Structure formats: C-alpha cells, structure tokens
C-alpha cells in the first residue's frame, strides 16, 4: 500500500499538470463567440459613462437605431473548471451609466469578453475600463477614455479628447482641437488632421510622436532619457500650444507630409 498511494498521487499530479497545460494552450477568446448577444438600453440626457471592469471595448458614434438608446453587442467565452461558473452582466444605471461586469474566478478559470457599443451622435462619452483595450471612432462631442491596463486607439474624432492608460500604448488619428494624452507605461502616437489649440502628452516610459498640420506652434518638451526632435515651425507667441514629456523615450514633433 505504501507504494501504491504515492504512485496514485504522482499520476493525479501529472493529470493536473496536463489539464493546466491544455487549458492554458486553449485559452478562451471572445472572438470565437459566433452567436453574440444584442441589447438596446434607454439613455436619458446628453452624456454616457461606460463602466467596465475587464473587457475589450469598441465604441462607435452612430445614427441611432432607436431614439434615445444605446445599442450593445456582446461576445463572450468563458470556462471555470474548479469554482463557480463564469457570469457576465450588463445594464444601465442612473439613466446614463452603462455598467459591464464579468465574474470569472476559480482554480482554473479562463474568460474573455468584448463589447461593441453604438452611441447616438451628439452624446458626450466617458469610458472607465479597468483591464482591457479600448477603440473608439466617429465622435464630434467630448470623449474621455481611461483604462487601467490596456491600449487605446481613437480615430475619426473632432471633439475634445482626453485619453489615459495606466499600462498601454495610446494612438489617435483625429482632428480634435483639444487633446490630452497620458500613459504610465507605453508609447503615445498622435496624428492630427486639423491645427489644434492645445495638445498635452506624457508617458512615464515610452516614446512620444506627434504629427501636426503645417502651422507655427509653441512647443515644450521634456525627456528624462531619450532624444528630442522638433521639426515644426516654432513661435513662442503662437496660440497653438503643444507639450510632450516622457520619462524614458524619444520625442518627435513633426509636420505632416
């Protein structure tokens, strides 16, 4: 008996290792969900806050499908082998706060969620995402995005823009006149299609690249450890203000070709 028990324990341990390896190799991805869910939520007022804990988000300004409503599509894949089953919830709180939650905990848990959120034009949007990438496009009103851990990418936007990531790259190809961007660890890349009034960018650890339309700018830069290349026309009295700072990385401010 003293020989049999260790043998069984070893066999069980080997099975657990194989199971863990299999689960890790076959991680769930929301992209694999071929039957996403669709819902519409009533929106009251001219602002929307998107509150997400752990999901990839795509947010689009679009013609309203229903008056005063936000249309949401959700993709989800999840599995928990030891523990409670995965659970995702979505709902509108306080008339203007879309709350997205995912519960995925256990000894062996693997979950992935993605949302596409279609917002009626003319609505100002604020995004708070704990862990996940955020993409947005088409906004003419104010857009604010904050993510704790994930990249941010914004396109085709003209309204005031504020982007912040605790750990992730930030990229924007926009025509906004007011732009504020910061990331704790990641690169910043901006391409502006219109002469801005003010651009403020900073990265704790990463390069900063800004491409601007032809004009004279009041430019300030600061790099703790990296080269600085400013090739736009400079004028300390210009009303078009650009600032770029990074703790460790290269700074480039140039005119579009």
pLDDT tens, residue by residue, 47-105: 999 999 989 999 999 886 666 899 999 999 887 666 566 889 999 999 999 999 998 87
> pLDDT tens digit string along 135-183?
999 999 999 999 999 999 999 999 999 999 999 999 999 999 999 999 9
Single pTM value for the model: 0.86
Asked if residue 24 has pLDDT above 80, the reply is no
Inter-residue contact 159 to 175 (CB < 8 Å): no
Mean pLDDT of the 228-246 span:
98
Position 34 scores a pLDDT of 84
Q: Which of 156, 241, 144 is nearest to 199 (CA)?
A: 241
d(CA 126, CA 142): 8
d(CA 131, CA 114): 12
Query: What count of other Cβ atoms lies within 10 Å of the Cβ of residue 23?
Result: 15
Sign of the dihedral defined by the CA atoms of residues 121, 125, 130, 132, in that order: positive
Position 134 scores a pLDDT of 98
Query: What percentage of the chain exceeds 70 in pLDDT?
Result: 83
> pLDDT tens digit string along 101-117?
998 876 666 888 999 99
Among all chains, which residue has been given the structure tokens 């430019």? 219
229 phi and psi, to 5 degrees?
A: -130, 110
d(CA 100, CA 236): 46
Query: What count of other Cβ atoms lies within 10 Å of the Cβ of residue 119?
Result: 26
Position 86 scores a pLDDT of 81
| 212 against 77, higher pLDDT | 212
User: Residues near 38 by Cβ (< 8 Å), separated by ≥ 6?
Assistant: 71, 72, 73, 74
Position 48 scores a pLDDT of 97
d(CA 116, CA 12): 43
Position 20 scores a pLDDT of 44
Position 107 scores a pLDDT of 66
Position 250 scores a pLDDT of 97
d(CA 67, CA 24): 44
**Band of residue 27 on the pLDDT scale cut at 50, 70, 90:** low
């Amino acid at each position: 008996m003293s020989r049999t028990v260790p043998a069984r324990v070893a066999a069980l341990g080997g099975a657990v290792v194989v199971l863990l390896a299999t689960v890790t190799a076959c991680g769930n991805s929301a992209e694999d969900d071929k039957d996403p869910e669709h819902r519409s939520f009533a929106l009251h007022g001219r602002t929307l806050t998107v509150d997400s804990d752990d999901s990839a988000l795509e947010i689009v300004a679009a013609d309203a499908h229903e008056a005063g409503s936000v249309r949401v599509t959700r993709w989800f894949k999840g599995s928990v082998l030891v523990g409670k089953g995965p659970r995702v919830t979505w709902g509108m709180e306080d008339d203007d706060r879309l709350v997205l939650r995912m519960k995925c905990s256990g000894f062996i848990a693997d979950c992935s969620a993605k949302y596409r959120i279609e917002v009626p034009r003319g609505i100002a949007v604020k995004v708070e995402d704990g862990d996940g990438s955020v993409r947005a496009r088409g906004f003419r009103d104010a857009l604010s995005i904050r993510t704790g851990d994930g990249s941010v990418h914004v396109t085709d936007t003209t309204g005031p823009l504020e982007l912040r990531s605790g750990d992730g790259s930030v990229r924007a190809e926009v025509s906004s006149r007011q732009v504020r961007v910061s990331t704790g660890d990641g690169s910043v890349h901006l391409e502006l299609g219109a002469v801005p009034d003010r651009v403020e960018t900073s990265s704790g650890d990463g390069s900063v690249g800004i491409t601007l339309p032809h004009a004279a700018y009041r430019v300030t830069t600061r790099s703790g450890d990296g080269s600085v290349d400013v090739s736009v026309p400079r004028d300390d009295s210009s009303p078009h203000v650009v600032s770029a700072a990074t703790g460790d990385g290269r700074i480039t401010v140039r005119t579009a070709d």
